[in-house]
Structure 1
Amino acid sequence: MKQSLQLKLSQQLTLTPQLQQSIRLLQLSTVELQQEIEQFLLQNPMLERADEYETKRPATSSNIEPPHSQHDQPTEPLEHSNDHHKDEHTDTPLEFDYSGEWGNGGGGNRDEDEDFDPHGRLYHEPTLREHLLSQLAEHVLSARDRAIVTLLIEALNEQGYLEDGLDSLAAELSGELATEADELLGELQVGLSLLQQFEPAGVGARNLHESMRLQLQAQPPSSIRNLALEISQQHLNLLANRDFSRLRKLTGQDDNALKAAQQLIASLNPYPAAGFGGEETRYVAADIVVQKHGATWVARLNSAAMPRLRVNSLYANLLKQQRESGNALNGQLQEARWLVRNIRQRFDTILRVAEAIVIRQQAFFEYGEEAMLPLVLREIAEELGLHESTISRVTSQKFLLCPRGLFELKYFFGSGLETDSGESCSATAIKARLKKLIQAEDPKKPLSDNTLAELLSREGIQVARRTVAKYREALHLPPANQRKAL
């Protein structure tokens, strides 16, 4: 076989480290970005926060200027970014500061006590285990009884239920405690009886029926409480199916008593441990603030979420004087400049996308959900000259604050349905209208999905019954038979 050399031309897209960092920063939320910046500040001495005590005019409600329009300051798309800022080899360090506000750190009245721990002032939400153990400490018990109740507390699941039966626990521990299983079972039953008297009511139950019984028994005695106990323990399925005619026959009670018992049962907590040991609170920072200027709603960047970063001028000048190309600090200087530029570009891109969204959804900010227009990522991408994947990154985990509340940018996108007038109606608007129809219905005769579809068609919105059911489920609204009330 004869060997030969051949030339072949091909195109290949290469992501530079700077572009990879730009894409990564773009998809981070504001909280995640702040954490990322803290890591960079710890690892790179060339990067620092801008002096918080520079002489700058504080941004107040009277001097905040509206954001510059994208037509006044064009920003390059993320995919085709041509950096028009200072050159990498310039003598002037780069600085990124969108805020223009006075900082709240770096000095002032600081506690000079070396033993002062700022974390000690943070509120600690007790876990279910801690809450129950604190109540156990108030009881005078023998060491063995205290150990048994502690064991039961440790055996509770996240919802406050005792999943493992007492028989299995007794069989498992009898060998370790050198006690007969029957004797240990009796001790566990006594310990569980004590545990089930603790707060929150219903904790230590082995199933939903027992939890409801414990919660009802913890309330003051009354005829309604007794009726609720009977229904929850014997006729819960009939109540769930809203079969009030059979409930009337089986309990011998009238509609008023059944309605009161139903409300009492609905007030019970199916998860006794709710509020204890839950997921960590997820904090959200608004990236965009929308305000009304005249007759137009305008988007601007939230200055409170803007980091103030710059390249350390002292180190940059020292490196320039040394002119050592092999110095490791040169690489860190380059990384610091990239980070400042990429963060600046991140917020510029977010602002451009937010401005385009706000322009298209003016009716929503003025009138609410029912005025939301259908919008897809492709429309914004074509308008701004960006790729749809970039718009997807920008709208994910980025939040907009307006007088109507806090919304993720993705909230403003959705498909639409054609109306009789030839216009499109967004899915958000249909859901809002559907929710209003259900809220206004007669609870004794709730509207079926077919009836809801007919009502919407009279308003010019042609929607199938299965679509109504899908939207209703998305709103976490039960079907008609489960919405029926006395």
Structure 2
Amino acid sequence: MKTSIRTNLVQAVNLTPQLLQQIRLLQLNAQQLELELQQTLARNPLLEQEEVADEAEDAGGADEAALEMAAWDELPDPAFLSGGHATGETDDATARIADEGSSDPRVRLLDQLALTWRPCELAMAAWWLDRCDDRGYLELPDGESPLQDLLAQGAAELSRPARELELVRQRLLHGDWPGMAAADVGECLHAQLMTQPDGPLRTLAQRILVHHLALLAAHDEAALAAELGVDATHVRAAVALILALRAHPVEAPAQERDGHIVPDVVAWHAGGSWRVALNSRTTPRVRIAPHCERALSGASGDHAVLKGMLDEARWLVRGLAMRNDTLLRTTQVLVERQRGFLERGDEAIAPLTLREVAEAIEMHESTVSRIVNGKYLQTPRGTFELKRLFAVRLEGAEIGGVAVRAMVKRLIDAEPVHAPLADDVIAGLLARQGIRIARRTVAKYRDQLSIGPVRARQRALARA
């Protein structure tokens, strides 16, 4: 048995209590920061809250704290702060602002299928999903056999047999998202029903969906029992199973709760330029009680506990100064880069990423990510989260998705009264302006704006 000695050189970051506290302060929103300070003030008698801001003292604190900035920016993303493990992944949502996942469920499904499907199958799946609305239902053309007409169209466009194209649709229909690319509600519910355990109850529910959908819609359980020749109790159980299914293949996004928002930063236009200031109501200031610091500095004897409290107080004051300085400088860059949006609206919002802001304030992207998370800006155009001022650049264009969505809205608002614009027509109009996007992207933006498809708008006009 041999013994040997090896030397390994490992590069690591020493996560001191000071650094951990400073990162925590960066991430806290206004309410969390207020709670944090209340707990610290109750625990540490050497701290007191300031009622009047001392700008000179704050500037000194920020300058001193800036010496530690390089140490922050070398830190990994803060999975350890939320109890995560150092796996190399991040739980910081704002770290993905510049490259976030698509909000279009059809795009997410395609990304998922790309892991197992062949390229030719993916092409056919993309064709089907391109003809689905955001709920997951096919947008069928008018005619006596709309599904067959759509199949013929797809076979011609993709140069694939119609049977092969329908097979891909069935795989979508009965795949990981049951009911996707369904032609109607019955087909969607039937696909979901097939995921339930096999048995008499499922068989009875299938018979109801296939042969007695009208009675199901009328909630006439007695008539269903008579038609099916079974006991009303069994019918009631089968109906309950059907009602437990989703009405749409794609679940509707959860609605955000309305709440009162107090902005962290305020921006206003004066003297031909935009100005930014921290909201004093959401930036509480604390300081070390002067008489306590003087007493401890000249005290003799063992005061280890009190000196520990003094160190904690100094770290907190320094961390707050750095947090406020970082928030202010980040917001100043955001307002400067997005002044077009603040003056003219969504169509003028410019593509902007975390990296661009980080380079402007000479910090790391993770620092910018932490400071904008959960922080709100009050402007003459309204109050909104700082993350809204970031915009992903569309491929091959000098414009972001938010601006394109605003353009889609403008085109629909200005469409001819008796000839609403279809999604592919809107895509064509945008292409003339150098903005090339797919029809399904137009449909996604239209649904985000709560605007119905062209046929729904035509029906609304006919009723009017």
Q: TM (normalized to structure 1)?
A: 0.51
Cα contact 1:286–1:401 (8 A) shared by 2: yes
Offset, 1:324 = 4.2
Q: Does 1:452 align with 2:442?
A: no
Match of 2:400? Answer: 426
| One-letter amino acid matched to 1:15 | L
How much is the aligned-residue C-alpha RMSD, in angstroms? 3.3
Q: Does 1:48 align with 2:48?
A: yes
Distance 2:348 2:365 in 1: 25
Query: In the TM superposition, what whole-angstrom CA distance separates every residue of 1:311-348 from its partner, at most 9, and x where no partner exists?
Result: 12233233334344553222121111111110110010
Offset, 1:371 = 0.7
Distance 2:356 2:387 in 1: 13
Match of 1:415? Answer: 392
Cα contact 2:65–2:318 (8 A) shared by 1: no
Query: In the TM superposition, what whole-angstrom CA distance separates every residue of 1:194-243 from its partner, at most 9, and x where no partner exists?
Result: xxxxxxxxxxxxxxxxxxxxxxxxxxxxxxxxxxxxxxxx99x9xxxxxx
Q: Does 1:289 align with 2:263?
A: no
Distance 2:371 2:67 in 1: 12
Distance 1:289 1:7 in 2: 54
Q: Does 1:344 align with 2:321?
A: yes
Cα contact 1:25–1:33 (8 A) shared by 2: yes
Distance 1:344 1:444 in 2: 60
What is the aligned counterpart of 2:354 among 363, 377, 382?
Answer: 377
Cα contact 1:431–1:472 (8 A) shared by 2: yes
Match of 1:300? Answer: 277
Match of 2:373? Answer: 396
Asked which structure has the greater CA Rg, the reply is: 1
Offset, 1:74 = 11
Cα contact 1:380–1:391 (8 A) shared by 2: yes
Distance 1:435 1:353 in 2: 30
Distance 1:26 1:292 in 2: 27
Query: In the TM superposition, what whole-angstrom CA distance separates every residue of 1:48-100 from its partner, at most 9, and x where no partner exists?
Result: 112x3x7x89x9xxxxxxx99xxx98983874269xxxxxxxxxxxxxxxxxx
Provide closer, same or farther for how the CA distance between residues 280 and 460 of structure 1 changes in structure 2, counting only shifts above 3 A.
closer
Offset, 1:303 = 2.6
Offset, 1:6 = 4.6
Match of 1:197? Answer: none
Distance 1:414 1:41 in 2: 39
Cα contact 1:78–1:349 (8 A) shared by 2: no
Provide closer, same or farther for how the CA distance between residues 334 and 282 of structure 1 changes in structure 2, counting only shifts above 3 A.
farther
Distance 1:474 1:75 in 2: 43
| One-letter amino acid matched to 2:66 | E
Provide closer, same or farther for how the CA distance between residues 447 and 8 of structure 1 changes in structure 2, counting only shifts above 3 A.
same
Provide closer, same or farther for how the CA distance between residues 382 and 325 of structure 1 changes in structure 2, counting only shifts above 3 A.
farther
Provide closer, same or farther for how the CA distance between residues 370 and 77 of structure 1 changes in structure 2, counting only shifts above 3 A.
farther
Match of 1:480? Answer: 454
**Where do residues 215-364 of structure 1 align in structure 2 (5 Å cutoff)?**
282-325=259-302, 327-364=304-341
| One-letter amino acid matched to 1:352 | R
Provide closer, same or farther for how the CA distance between residues 439 and 313 of structure 1 changes in structure 2, counting only shifts above 3 A.
same
Q: Secondary structure at the match of 2:297?
A: helix
Match of 1:9? Answer: 9
Offset, 1:41 = 1.2
Cα contact 1:443–1:483 (8 A) shared by 2: no
Distance 1:351 1:405 in 2: 18
Cα contact 1:416–1:426 (8 A) shared by 2: yes
Q: Secondary structure at the match of 1:306?
A: coil
Q: 5+ unaligned residues in a row in structure 2: which ranges?
A: 73-213, 218-254
Query: In the TM superposition, what whole-angstrom CA distance separates every residue of 1:285-326 from its partner, at most 9, and x where no partner exists?
Result: 212211223222222222332212111223323333434455
Distance 1:459 1:74 in 2: 50
**Higher normalized helix content (fraction of residues):** 2
Distance 2:401 2:439 in 1: 14
Match of 1:103? Answer: none
| One-letter amino acid matched to 2:446 | R
Q: Does 1:365 align with 2:342?
A: yes
Q: Secondary structure at the match of 2:281?
A: helix
Distance 1:6 1:425 in 2: 55
Offset, 1:455 = 1.9
Offset, 1:280 = 7.7
Q: TM (normalized to structure 2)?
A: 0.54
**Where do residues 164-243 of structure 1 align in structure 2 (5 Å cutoff)?**
none
Cα contact 2:377–2:383 (8 A) shared by 1: yes
Provide closer, same or farther for how the CA distance between residues 323 and 43 of structure 1 changes in structure 2, counting only shifts above 3 A.
same
Offset, 1:11 = 2.0
| One-letter amino acid matched to 1:16 | T
Distance 1:339 1:446 in 2: 59
Q: How many residues align?
A: 277
Match of 2:439? Answer: 465
Distance 1:46 1:74 in 2: 21
Provide closer, same or farther for how the CA distance between residues 4 and 463 of structure 1 changes in structure 2, counting only shifts above 3 A.
closer
Provide closer, same or farther for how the CA distance between residues 75 and 16 of structure 1 changes in structure 2, counting only shifts above 3 A.
closer
Offset, 1:444 = 5.1
Q: Secondary structure at the match of 1:291?
A: strand
Distance 1:303 1:443 in 2: 50
Distance 1:398 1:418 in 2: 29
Offset, 1:4 = 4.9
Query: In the TM superposition, what whole-angstrom CA distance separates every residue of 1:244-302 from its partner, at most 9, and x where no partner exists?
Result: xxxxxxxxxxxxxxxxxxxxxxxxxxxxxxxxxx9986332212211223222222222
Moved more, 437-446 or 30-39: 437-446
Q: Secondary structure at the match of 1:318?
A: helix
Cα contact 2:349–2:391 (8 A) shared by 1: no
Q: Secondary structure at the match of 1:406?
A: strand
Match of 1:80? Answer: 70
| One-letter amino acid matched to 2:331 | A
Offset, 1:462 = 1.8
| One-letter amino acid matched to 1:474 | Q
| One-letter amino acid matched to 2:409 | K
Provide closer, same or farther for how the CA distance between residues 335 and 455 of structure 1 changes in structure 2, counting only shifts above 3 A.
same
Cα contact 1:75–1:349 (8 A) shared by 2: no
Match of 1:18? Answer: 18
Provide closer, same or farther for how the CA distance between residues 348 and 479 of structure 1 changes in structure 2, counting only shifts above 3 A.
same
Distance 1:73 1:315 in 2: 24
Cα contact 1:450–1:465 (8 A) shared by 2: yes
